[in-house]
Structure formats: C-alpha cells, structure tokens
Amino acid sequence: QASFRAQSGHQSRPVRGSRSFLSMPHLEMEMKLDFKDVLIRPKRSALSSRAQVSIEREFIFPNSKQVWSGTPIIAANMDTVGTFEVAEVLAKRKCITAIHKHYTVEQWKNWAEGPGKDIVGFVAVSTGILEKDMEKLSQIIKAVPGVNMICIDVANGYSEAFVQCIREVRKTYPKVTIMAGNVVTKEMTEELIFSGADVIKVGIGPGSVCTTRKQTGVGYPQLSAVLECADAAHGLGGRIVSDGGCTCPGDVCKAFGAGADFVMLGGMLAGHEECAGETLEENGHFFKVFYGMSSDTAMKKHSGGVAEYRSSEGKTVKVPYRGPIDETIRDLQGGVRSACTYVGASTLRELPKRTTFIRCTQQLNNVFGQETTKANPTECFPPGKRQKTEA
C-alpha cells in the first residue's frame, strides 16, 4: 500500500477507529485539450503549391524492425469500415485498413488469393486477447503469410492480461509489426512498447459512436492524449496512432501536428459504397448503418447479446449514404497537404516541428449550418437508385 501511494502521489489519511489507510482521489489541475479547443497558427512558407507537399512517411518499427512507407491514414477495424472492399480502395492511395476481426479464415484466404493479392502490405489483421482470438490469428497468418501487421485491439489497454498478450504475440511473431491499444497516458504507452508493440493506439472515448465516457466517466481529451503519448513513444523509437475524435480533415491535420504518426478514422469513413451493411431508404433518402464495436448491435451480432455483467458502450446510427470512399480520402489528403503549406512544411514529417497550437473559443462559422466532412456535400445515391427515385 505504501508503495502504491509513493507511485501514484495520492495523499492518505487514517480512518477513525481503524489502523488501515485509505488512498484519497487525486485531481490533476492542468487543463487537457481536444481538437475543438485549438487551431494551428499559420507561419511563413516558401511553398508555392500544395503539390509540392509529400504526405507519405517511412517508418522503421522498433520491435519488428519492419520498414513501412505510405500515407499514414488507417481505416478503423470496425465491422462496417474495416472491410476488404475499403482496403482495396485505400491501398491505391497507400493507406492502411485495419481489417475487422470477424472475417473467417476462409474469407481471408479467398481475398488474399484474389482482389487482395497485391495489397496485403496495406492491411492489418485485427484480434482480441482471448485464447480463441490467438488461435484464429495463427490460422490467418498461416493462410495469408503476406500479412505483416497485427492490430491487438481492446477497449481498456491498462489490463495486465493485455500487456501479457502483447508479449506472447511478440514472442510468437518476432518480425510482424504490432499495433496495440487503446491507452491515453505516457506510462502505458511506454509499457506497451517495452512489451513488444510498435505502434500504440491512443484514444479512450472520443469516437463518434463510442459512449465509454458517458457510461463510465473514463477518458482523456484526444489532443492532449496524442501530445503526451507521442512524446513518450518517440523517446523509445515507437509510433502512435490517434484513434478517434476526428470530425473533419482539420482534426486530422491537428492530430498529425500534435505528433501522431498515424491517424485512424471510423465515423469519417462510414456510410460509403465500400462500407459493409445494408443501404436503407427513407422518404427518398439513403442511409447506411454505423455502430460502435461495444454497442448492443455489435454484441448481439457477434456475442448473442449484451452480457449480464456489462453494459453497452457504443451507439448505432444511420449515416447518409456518401458514395465512393475514394473522393473522401482524396479530400482528406488535400486538407493535410494544405495544412502543411500554411505552416511551411514540405513533408508530413515536418508538420509537428512547424506546428504551434493556439487556444480558441470558436473554430467555424456555422451561420449556414454544419457542413458535411465530404468534399461534395451534394446528396449521393447508390448505383441504380437515382433513376428509380426520380421515376
């Protein structure tokens, strides 16, 4: 108990009538910030065009020693976003897709021998930490040996079981890059890298369909989490991915400016043609269903329902149909290039060095309403549906 108090800095007092001591709650007074709380200050630039900016990165990962190069944007490992179809489009722009963990081994094998034959270097195979997850992971890697990135994904990256799983996966697959999370603090970022992870997923509760903060009161403002975890990871040669909280291309730019090596997107990529799920029609308008992976929708689909001992920590929403995903990725990449020109960064690697954040009380002028994150806000229709609607 004394050791815990020394490590945590908590103050304790004796309980009346007892010899025991209770550790009291601790309050950190420093303000933590989210993407909405800041803007990037422009700086003098020698760049004359966005076309002069390179947004590709090259990394040598500390534990796997693998070399990766591409555009560091990742489609989240969610049922509707982390699909083979999305991967096929994103790979053309050298972006990664974290494939959701519910594809079967046979589906993986068929895809890797077909449409995914030349792009397995731009996908990560996702897994949980249970014994059955490890068995399935082993089968997938044997069936698709070209896969060289694993995403070990749990909601709470602070458990000892999670850390132990990373150690075991690293021992079993010494040359495979491990992406693992989620955490939001320096000490756990360092712990996961020491345990064998290469890329740390940062974010608890910021996602558009995540309700962890509402259900548990646990979380950390995303910008501050990225700043702190990036500092810790880079000191050890590791990398981080900002997972969640982005609502527009500007937020992605802020994440990169704060030191994120990768940015993972879920809600910003939801609702597109390549996303899984049925397209719904309501009064002539089209939607796709998008849900969190801890929602009752996901648990009913994959686990038979919400277990007695837990609650749903995600929500289910209908996202307006947004057409092909490539246009959204192009628009996003264009925003990142533009941000670089505003601060004089000729490469994405230079952006954090050139970034100064300023606190603000307002970012956008919404006199005409909140605009979509898509480049073209015109309503989209699924293939073959426009004619039917207009008939």
Active-site positions read: 210, 212
**Tokens 């044997």 belong to which residue?**
142
Q: 375 exposed, middle or buried (CB, 10 Å; 0-12, 13-18, 19+)?
A: middle
Based on DSSP, count helices (H) and strands (E) in the chain, helices before strands: 13, 17
DSSP type of residue 278: P
Q: 79 exposed, middle or buried (CB, 10 Å; 0-12, 13-18, 19+)?
A: buried
The CA distance from 100 to 126, in Å, is 6
> What is the side-by-side strand order in the sheet with 285-291?
279-282, 285-291, 316-320
Coil, helix or strand at residue 45: coil
Cα distances from 195 to residues 42, 174, 364, in angstroms, run 39, 12, 42
Q: Extract the tokens encoding 267.
A: 């809600």
Q: Extract the tokens encoding 326.
A: 């490539």
